[in-house]
Structure 1
């Protein structure tokens, strides 16, 4: 498995680490439990970690020298794809296949799969064209380089794994991916960590929250695409419509800034709207502690403008907490509307506020949703996700690659490898992803 821009060992909710990091860790562990040995390659950032780090029995995280030994913003990562790929190809160990995560890893995967003459399986996690169609006002669109790179990976990979039917449709319609090469594998949830446990009262006592508070929870990175501004405006609308709730409403915001730069817009907006006093900023926490926050909450708020799946929604439901989420991307799969939570179409804070008030005023119905949410989440385990992923692996390996040199995908990937070797051999030139993308 490849993850160029973020390590599976990074804390979700910080920097560029999020649901994809959870996905890689949990899927790798579940695959190993079914007899698959997994090496997870990422970039060495100079952290105090060994070059080989055992994540779980059968799962090793391996750090490659590619670029400076320090954290870099994701925007600088394209320049490191080819050095990462060439460092990867120096590994002598033969692999059965490459599974890349995110488009940068997909580009590295094209080169590695061609060099090793093995199949490439790719999971996009997010897609630039989908994100750009749902940008918040003032947000920066994904660059054309990424769009072109995603098109290449979609055309080259032997199999594409989509989280939902909605994502599979986007791959076909926006990127021309062949339906015969696109498989749907629903992510799972760690049912050992995320479970109702001792219940809401115990969780609140542990976290220092009042037993009678109304607690809508926001858990995730602070970035425009996740809709923190919608959350803040919805809370302002709620307290304006139901002022009696101000004295008992606490909104924990568990997560860090996305990327390298500051994201203070949500906090400034909260001050402008007069609701900063009800928001409580909490840094990203390990999974076991995050489960406590889920258990303590009345409802999880997920107002994302785009979401490939929304693992936090599934984690909260596994803890018995209903979800109020936007009806975008994979969230309609993760949340059963009107059964385990409520789905909102659009980004109208007034609509979110209306449903927040409903959760505050109908605790008995909300509790029924919470119990239904637990049952729903238990149908989506990582073991089931790994079993389905293993089916995809076996299918692509049955196809084999004896004629890969004549296939469109194989030719494209080998062209990328040849270009990298050519550029590397020129005096004074270094191979770049921009050059390989033409």
Structure 2
């Protein structure tokens, strides 16, 4: 696939509404409610959701540029967070209070969704805005969207971002919420007006594991190519205070076992030094991520990579392009990945990509054309691929 600019991506999304086009009334400014319960679009990179937050934000901004009024509804996670944030003219983030104003793990959020809907109605009545479309993101928001759709009688578009039955495959003990999630995801496929799928692999999973009913259209993610592709490597390294001759391996994403960071660390342990490994991302408010980060830190120490590894932490969107541009190679070693937005961002920066041949990455990365694909959970294969990139770039 090619790296599509976000404007073209939004155009394709707009054409997926059953009415034919999002912008339908010449004398009326369309108003859309994007539901993203667990994906605050203003969050910095590394927060839970990662690419999902970026997807929601870029969609909202893109629709606003087309003259739409867009409200992105998410959940307040801190008492000091503002209720309304103006993202751009015509696009704002609305934080609703649903349960305690603190981070709550996704698997425990379902019980707070009725309160989210109550808060949504209060805001809607207060603002007197009549929405013409609901776009829900992830299964939690899908449930919210289905309730609003039944009351408002307006179209609902849904994006899964991940599918529960795929996520829980191989788990000895799936979480208690797994059954509820499956029922909601089935309803999202069969009862919404259109499902936006990000890859052919996701369509196959939906049809084989969820239902053969429902309208699905494949529209891969896109990124702002000018945002990620405008920085020269020398400029990026000077900005980050990295030597020009240093071999730099980059990982961007959450600390999650399914992201394959352990595989990357083990691969790096077999590489010839010197090199540096930059791990960008990680949500310190998440207990699970903190535990995984500590496990990875112990592994780094155990394998003697302390001097070579930098735990960067969360990075602002304005800073992220510098890391992509500075890297010699960006590695996405995931065990599973619905799409792989990081791959597109690295490609836009002109940085070689090495990714696991799983999920949407099989379509995002074309082997030896737009990057390299390797089997997941194989440190030896990953190390060989990194070495090949280093040698090819004469680092």
Q: Provide TM-score, normalisation by structure 1.
A: 0.77
User: Which of these residues, 26, 32, 41, is aligned with residue 64 of structure 2?
Assistant: 32
- Of structures 1 and 2, the larger Rg is shown by 1
* Compared CA separation, residues 322 and 122, structure 1 to 2 (3 A): same
Which residue of 2 is the match for residue 256 of structure 1?
Answer: 282
Q: CA RMSD in A?
A: 2.1
> Residue by residue, what CA displacement relative to the aligned partner does 1:115-136 show, whole Å, maximum 9, x if unpaired?
111121110101111122366x
Give yes or no for contact 1:270–1:276 (8 Å, CA) kept in 2.
Answer: yes
User: Which of these residues, 190, 198, 206, is aligned with residue 224 of structure 2?
Assistant: 190
Superposed, 1:11-410 pairs within 5 Å as 11-14=44-47, 16-90=48-122, 91-92=124-125, 93-133=129-169, 143-178=178-213, 181-197=215-231, 199-237=232-270, 239=271, 245-246=272-273, 248-257=274-283, 259-261=286-288, 262=290, 263=292, 264-363=294-393
Distance 1:346 1:10 in 2: 29
* Compared CA separation, residues 114 and 140, structure 1 to 2 (3 A): closer
Where relative contact order (Cα < 8 A, 6+ residues apart) is larger, the structure is 1
* Compared CA separation, residues 193 and 315, structure 1 to 2 (3 A): same
- Which consecutive unaligned segments of at least 5 residues does structure 2 have? 1-33
Farther off after superposition, 292-301 or 276-285: 276-285
Which is richer in helix?
1
- Which consecutive unaligned segments of at least 5 residues does structure 1 have? 240-244, 367-438
CA positional deviation for 1:333:
2.3
Farther off after superposition, 56-65 or 20-29: 56-65
SS of structure 2 residue aligned to 1:256: coil
Give yes or no for contact 2:38–2:49 (8 Å, CA) kept in 1.
Answer: no
Give yes or no for contact 1:10–1:21 (8 Å, CA) kept in 2.
Answer: yes
Give yes or no for contact 1:303–1:326 (8 Å, CA) kept in 2.
Answer: yes
SS of structure 2 residue aligned to 1:286: coil
Farther off after superposition, 145-154 or 282-291: 145-154
Report the count of equivalent residues: 354
Distance 1:182 1:6 in 2: 23
Distance 1:231 1:76 in 2: 30
